A and B are shown apart, each in its own frame.
Chain A
Amino acid sequence: MPDLGKYAEAVLSSYAISIAIIIGLIVVSVMRANRVNKQLQEIENKVKNNG
């Protein structure tokens, strides 16, 4: 861990907040992609079965 001196709080909070926001965006995007993909497959199967 580098010595961040008197600005440690500012630097660490910048990294913590930014990384948390980026991870949140990735998680939300992947979860929505999986959910929509699953829903679409269900609807396509239903349409196929109904002819």
Chain B
Amino acid sequence: MNLNTLWAYANPKKFIQTTDRVLPWVAGLAALALVLGLIWGFFFTPEDYRQGSTVKIIYLHVPSALMAINAWLMMLVTSLVWIVRRHHVSALAARAAAPVGMVMTVIALITGAIWGQPMWGTWWAWDPRLTSFLILFLFYLGYIALWEAIENDDTAADLTSILCLVGSVFALLSRYAVNFWNQGLHQGASLSLDKEENVADVFWYPLLVCIAGFVLLFVALVLLRTRTEIRARRMRVLLARERMGA
């Protein structure tokens, strides 16, 4: 697919026509991968010799943390496309992704706290990764609130895009905090190219299926919510035209 073909999806009508066909497949695959991955992880993996059965929490915590960061990075790309090319669909895709990313951040924070209590002896620590994740959550809240607070869609897209650029620092910080600072409680990244050092195969394969499920769920929800945002925007335009004509 060349770049010109890609820009065709910036046309709202083309986007809706294409997602009409794609969305059921993505949603079905997401459901399949999530159910398979979570059942595999929960029922058919052993206890870890150090973490006991709490190791089963990684099938929720790792994929949701991964998507919390990557959702913001997806918003960064679509915000940049808005700033440079002024395609409404890309701004609306960023708006659609924000609540999904925020929910992923909440799941990562909650499951991390529940895991941390028995393992670290505390629900929360002002550890670099935990703190940067909390700040990322606040950025999501601010981003969503800013979209809601501004009536003019283009102005809202401009300002939220700038906020997204600033928040990207914390999204990247959340990802790499464990590498920058050694004083935190949070262990090193569970996912890396040398994964053998971090996660044994018996936990790794169901984790990969769960990650695929979370990625597909994110894509399905963003497509669905972007379609909704496109229709809501058209509705606002029609109502504004009607008011002006009256």
Q: Which residues of B115-153 are within 8 A (CB) of A?
A: 115, 117-118
How many residues of chain A are within 8 Å of chain B by beta carbon? 30
Quick one: CB contact mask for A1-45 with B, threshold 8 Å, 1 for yes? Answer: 111111110110111011001100110011011001101100110
Cβ contact within 8 Å between B221 and A47 = no
For A35, give the chain B residue with the smallest CB separation.
B228
Given that A10-B54, A10-B118, A11-B54 are contacting pairs, would A36 and B231 also be in contact in the complex, using a CB cutoff of 8 Å?
yes
B166 within 8 A of A: no
B interface SS class: helix
Cβ contact within 8 Å between A36 and B228 = yes
Tell me which of A3, A15, A40 contacts B234 (CB under 8 A).
Answer: A40
- Complex CA gap A21/B111 in Å reads 12
Tell me which of B52, B103, B225 contacts A21 (CB under 8 A).
Answer: B103
Binds A, one of B175-183, B199-207, B235-243: B235-243
- Complex CA gap A30/B144 in Å reads 19
Tell me which of A4, A14, A30 contacts B111 (CB under 8 A).
Answer: A14
Q: Which residues of B51-100 are within 8 A (CB) of A?
A: 52-54, 56-57, 60-61, 64, 99-100
Given that A18-B107, A21-B106 are contacting pairs, would A10 and B115 also be in contact in the complex, using a CB cutoff of 8 Å?
yes
A interface SS class: helix
Cβ contact within 8 Å between A18 and B60 = yes
- Complex CA gap A5/B56 in Å reads 12
- Complex CA gap A43/B239 in Å reads 8
For B103, give the chain A residue with the smallest CB separation.
A25
B216 within 8 A of A: no
- Complex CA gap A6/B42 in Å reads 16
- Complex CA gap A10/B43 in Å reads 16
Cβ contact within 8 Å between A30 and B224 = yes
Given that A14-B57, A36-B231, A43-B239 are contacting pairs, would A6 and B52 also be in contact in the complex, using a CB cutoff of 8 Å?
yes
Instruction: Give the interface of A toward B (CB within 8 A).
Output: 1-8, 10-11, 13-15, 17-18, 21-22, 25-26, 29-30, 32-33, 36-37, 39-40, 43-44, 47
Shortest 9 CB-CB contacts between residues of A and residues of B? A4-B53, A33-B228, A18-B60, A7-B53, A14-B111, A14-B57, A7-B54, A40-B231, A40-B235
Q: A10-B54, A43-B239 are in contact. List 4 more A-B contacts (CB 8 A).
A: A7-B53, A21-B103, A29-B224, A47-B242
